[in-house]
Amino acid sequence: MGKSKDEALYEEMCRVVGKVVLEMRDLGQEPKHIVIAGVVRTMLANKKIKRSELTQEAMETVIQALGYNA
């Protein structure tokens, strides 16, 4: 049985946030939620990178979930 859309979205959100947190750690930055949201927002703003609809939705949901509305 396949995953539901919600399960797939949640897993993609975790993948996106995990990648950002690990990259921040490698750069010696503390992964605070507002900073993570800002990084994801900046990534999402880069229209040169083609993303799946699921990844796009996951990134938007992460930004909202972390309270970054600016």
How many domains, the chain?
1
Among the listed residues 48, 50, 44, 46, the one whose alpha carbon sits nearest the alpha carbon of residue 63: 44
Flag whether 10 is in a domain.
no
Flag whether 43 is in a domain.
yes
Q: Which helix (H) or strand (E) holds 70?
A: none
Numbers of helices and strands, H then E, in the chain: 3, 0
Flag whether 51 is in a domain.
yes
Flag whether 25 is in a domain.
no
Q: What is the mean pLDDT of residues 48-66?
A: 93
Measure Cα distances from 53 to 10, 20, 27, 56 in Å.
Answer: 13, 19, 29, 5
For residue 70, what pLDDT band results from cuts at 50, 70 and 90?
low
User: What's the pTM?
Assistant: 0.82
Domain range for 65 is: 31-69
Flag whether 46 is in a domain.
yes
For residue 45, what pLDDT band results from cuts at 50, 70 and 90?
very high
Flag whether 24 is in a domain.
no
Q: Which helix (H) or strand (E) holds 69?
A: none
Name which residue leads in pLDDT, 65 or 70: 65
